[in-house]
Structure 1
Amino acid sequence: MNPLYPIEWAVAWLMVKFHALLSVFMEPDSGLTWVLSIVGLTVVVRTLIIPLFVRQIRASRAMQMVSPELQAVQKKYKGKTDQESRQKMAEETMALYKEAGASPFSSCLPILLQMPIFFGLFRVLFNKLPDAAAGEPFGPLTTELARSASDSTLFGGVTIADSFLNAGDGGLTTRIVSGVIILAMCAVTFFTQKELTMKNMPKAALEGPMASTQKMMLYMLPFIYVITGPGMPIGVLIYWLTTNIWTFGQQYIVIRATPTPGSDAEKERHDRINAKRERKGLEPLEFTPPKKVAEPDPEPERNIRIQPSAKNKGGRKLTDEEKLERAREARAKAAEERRQAQAAAGETPTPPKGSNALHKNAKKKRKK
């Protein structure tokens, strides 16, 4: 049994339903009606896989952000080929992926999911459509509808089943139309990859082996269309071009709304926000967080210990009251110096507790 049969049946059913809808206000046997039916099929498929596309964008962003750490791990184990080092390198790499929520396989999910649909559409246009037109209907694709699709033309003789290598009655016109579609596919894919790998990547991720791979893919992906496109029917190329345009538009919206931190796309978003605030008469926002300046530790206050001398200048031994009085005066003087230092530093000087009492006692003793 053909494993693609359910997908081929679903593809044919969607084409027929969109053709019936468009036939209400368009010519049923027109080539444009069948082309728009394929476009409608593409829109339905891409709408269903929007969650996977968002996951792909997040995975690509996480891979970009973790790129500097991956380079550090690769540099750490560079030149080490023993089994233990390779195992540790793999463990550290997977730990980085897990911590950042990145997966090198998530970016392939939308493409992998579309491949069966792509091949199903190819088989419907290349095999089922001619067979149904010859009298072997396929599911919802009746003989009458198949003949309408096979006989409907664009630009005077191009059908959706013709290709660059199998031009049919269109001849040169078919090859020109096919070539134009292939060039458009290459251009859209190039700009899509450029937006993703250049504009939405931080500067730290634009260096190293991963960045080199991304730059190589920038030119390799469009070249794949040049090789495979000439053998594809016009209808398949239309599906391919539509899904590429959809990817570009969807990616543009996501990057514009939620750019990667540190990328040029984030800087443009900040500029747009500030320009909008300026038009409203508001002050611009500062998106760059201020650098924290380490404040010096406050110098601990020194405890001044007063050691009264046993004798005065004349050599006379001081009494206990005189010793206590001199000690109080020395403490008061030290406290006054501290208050002056605080005032010079811009702080509010606080008088020590009991200072008024000391001055009062000193005055009383002077009177006595």
Structure 2
Amino acid sequence: MLLTPYAGSILGPIAKGIGWIMNLIYMGMNAIGIANVGVSIILLTIVIYLILFPLTYRQQKFSKLTQKMQPELKAVQDKYKGKRDQISMQAMNAETQLIYSKYGVSPMGSCLQLLIQMPILFALYRVFYNVPAYITNVKNQFSGLVDGIVNTSGHQETLTKIVTDFNESTLKSVEWANEKGTVLTNHIVDLLYKLPSTAWTGASEKTNHLVSYFPDLGDQISNTYSNIKHFNYFLGLNISDSPLSIIKNSFATGSYLVAIVALLFPILSFVTQRLNIRLTPQANTGDQAAQTMKTMNLMMPLMSLVFCFTLPVGLGIYWIAGALVRSIQQYFLNRHFDKIDLETIIEKNKDKVAKKKEKQGLYQDQIRRAAAINTRSIDARANINVSNDAESALENAQQMKNNAASGSLASKANMVKNFNERNSRK
């Protein structure tokens, strides 16, 4: 993997695999002459959500069944409302578990699906945030300019100044003076890819752009920017730039249409997130958990709206494409579940749970029988040991009596015993 991909121990390997798929998509598009990072993001998002569809289906089925049993769950909650003693809590948990068993679902039914999906979706974010690290062809577009920068005297200080001057949140500070070789060139590609549009436009004027920092590299800068416009622009916007930065610069230059397009991305992100939430089945329980979920459903689209203003356009494309794909999936899933007979699914789930419990019951019965046999064996060995110990004690006592010293109480007792035995035989 080239450049500086995300190095997290969990998301890193996932991002690497997703980046490999994205690289294949980009290569395929490049082969037919329409290579574009924005379109690649959309296609990859569609592919990933299609791969995750089986998990999505199971999660939605769980949600539908949960909706079906909500009245019974609420009845149990109302029954024990205000009761916090241990016996009542245990009884409520037992009755709740019986309802889940009746419908053949687990209280943790959707958690596994979320645990699998969330790392993949977060890894997608890392890939889109640093595209050249995962798409080889994109990285190669910067090779000529990077070589020129490395061979320029004092380039480390100049690169540090570029980061400071542009002051973009997407740029990260690097100790350029301590970087060498491949590591240095990788960081330079990262920097160049994330520079705002103002760093490239009007390169021939040599003011407020890269040429003013590297006067001898005007041709390389112009060629690189020409390539960037081909693969890194979507609907007239540089996807490495933030909508907020684009809007500011567009108003400054009078490019109002570009500003309107940039404004649409945060708005579309909010609208598509809301659409997805509206289509997703929601459990109407009225409890604290439901209220919390309702608040989150309102806040998440708002957060998406705010973040989309300051983060790269590429991430906005990902959020919008993802929300649209989920909404389309949800629309057809809703139609599917409206047509199917949930009672049939419930009965099948009941049979599965019954068989599972039957197997567990047989296994537990075997354990109980084995324990009972083992207990009887222990008792038998204990009885044998007690009997042997008693016989041994009696023999020892008899020997002590027979060996009693002359004139002792034991010897006199033996004399009385012998006299009684002789008289009894007469």
TM-score range relative to shorter protein? 0.5 to 0.7
Residues 91 and 182 from structure 1, CA distance in 2 versus in 1: closer, same or farther, beyond 3 angstroms? farther
- Structure 1 residues 167 and 83: CA distance shift in structure 2, 3 A: farther
- 1:286-365 matches, within 5 Å, as none
Residues 1:64 and 1:7: Cα distance change in structure 2 (over 3 Å)? same
TM-score (norm 2): 0.49
Shift of residue 193, structure 1, vs aligned partner: 2.6
Moved over 6 A (4+): 260-263
Structure 2 SS opposite 1:78: coil
- The partner residue of 2:16 within 9, 12, 22 is 9
Q: Distance in 2 between matches of 1:241 and 1:75?
A: 41
Contact 2:38 2:233 in 1 (8 A): no
Q: Which residue of 2 aligns with 1:233?
A: 312
Report what 1:221 is aligned to. 300
Q: CA deviation at 1:248?
A: 1.1
Structure 1: how far apart are the matches of 2:105 and 2:98? 10
Tell me the C-alpha RMSD between the 2 structures: 3.8
In the alignment, is the contact (CA less than 8 A) between 2:41 and 2:128 conserved in 1?
A: no
What CA distance in whole angstroms lies between the structure 1 residues aligned with 2:80 and 2:45? 46
Conserved? CA contact 1:164–1:174, under 8 Å: no
Q: Return the alpha-carbon distance in structure 1 between the equivalents of residues 54 and 292 of structure 2.
A: 26
Distance 2:123 2:70 in 1: 37
Query: 1:47 Cα shift?
Result: 1.3
Write the distance in 1 (CA, Å) between the matches of 2:247 and 2:306.
20
Aligned-pair distance for 1:246? 1.2
Measure the CA separation in 1 of the matches of 2:97 and 2:34: 57
Q: Does 1:208 align with 2:215?
A: no
Out of 138, 153, 159, the position equivalent to 2:233 is 153
Q: What is the rounded CA distance, in whole Å, between the counterparts of 2:320 and 2:112 in structure 1?
A: 19
Aligned with 2:31: secondary structure?
coil
> Alpha-carbon deviation of 1:105?
4.5
- Partners in 1 of 2:308 and 2:105 — Cα distance? 32
User: Hey, what's the Cα distance between the residues in 2 that align with 1:63 and 1:178?
Assistant: 41
Say whether 1:47 aligns with 2:50: yes
Are the counterparts in 2 of residues 163 and 230 from structure 1 also a CA contact under 8 Å?
A: yes
Q: Deviations over 1:3-23 (max 9, x none)?
A: 132222223222221112112
The verdict on how the C-alpha distance between 1:176 and 1:102 changes in structure 2, with shifts beyond 3 A counting, is: farther
Partner residue in 1 for 2:71:
68
Question: 1:211 Cα deviation (Å)?
Answer: 6.0
Q: Which moved more, 1:96-105 or 1:60-69?
A: 96-105
Alpha-carbon shift at residue 56 of structure 1 (Å): 0.9
Can you give the 5+ residue segments of structure 2 that lack an aligned partner in the other structure? 1-6, 148-181, 184-188, 194-223, 252-256, 343-426
- Please give the alpha-carbon distance, in whole angstroms, between the structure 2 residues aligned to 1:16 and 1:23: 10
How far residue 70 of structure 1 moved from its aligned partner, in angstroms, is: 1.1
Asked whether 1:23 is paired with 2:30, we answer: yes
Equivalent residue pairs, number: 248
Given the superposition, is the C-alpha separation of residues 118 and 208 from structure 1 closer, same or farther in structure 2, using an over 3 Å criterion?
closer
- 1:139-167 per-position Cα deviation (integer Å, ceiling 9, x unaligned): xxxx79x77568732344x2222223554
Residue identity in the other structure for 1:45: I
- 1:37-63 CA-to-partner distances (Å, cap 9, x unmatched) read 111111221111111011111111011
Which structure has more relative contact order (CA 8 Å, sep 6+)? It is 2
Q: Deviations over 1:83-132 (max 9, x none)?
A: 22222222322332232234454445555434333433333343463895
**Residues 167 and 175 in structure 1, CA contact (< 8 A), matched pair in contact too:** yes
Shift in alpha-carbon separation, 1:90–1:195, aligned structure 2, 3 A? same
C-alpha contact 1:66 1:100 (8 A) present in aligned 2: yes
Deviation at 1:78, TM superposition (A): 0.7
Mapped partners of 1:6, 1:175: distance in 2: 37
Match of 2:272 in 1: 188
Deviation at 1:64, TM superposition (A): 0.6
Aligned equivalents of 1:42, 1:237: Cα separation in 2: 12
Distance 1:239 1:115 in 2: 15
| Match in the other structure for 1:164 | 243
Aligned counterpart in structure 2 of residue 83 of structure 1, from 83, 86, 103: 86
Q: C-alpha offsets along residues 150-187 of structure 1, whole Å, 9 cap, x if unaligned?
A: 8732344x222222355499656776545422322322
* Aligned-partner Cα distance in 1 for 2:279–2:128: 33
Provide closer, same or farther for how the CA distance between residues 97 and 7 of structure 1 changes in structure 2, counting only shifts above 3 A: same
CA contact (8 A) 1:61 1:260 kept: no
The normalised TM-score by structure 1 is 0.56
2:337 maps to 258
The AA in structure 2 aligned to 1:242 is A
Q: Give the distance between the partners of 1:39 and 1:192, measured in 2 at CA.
A: 17
Cα distance, 1:239 vs structure 2 = 1.6
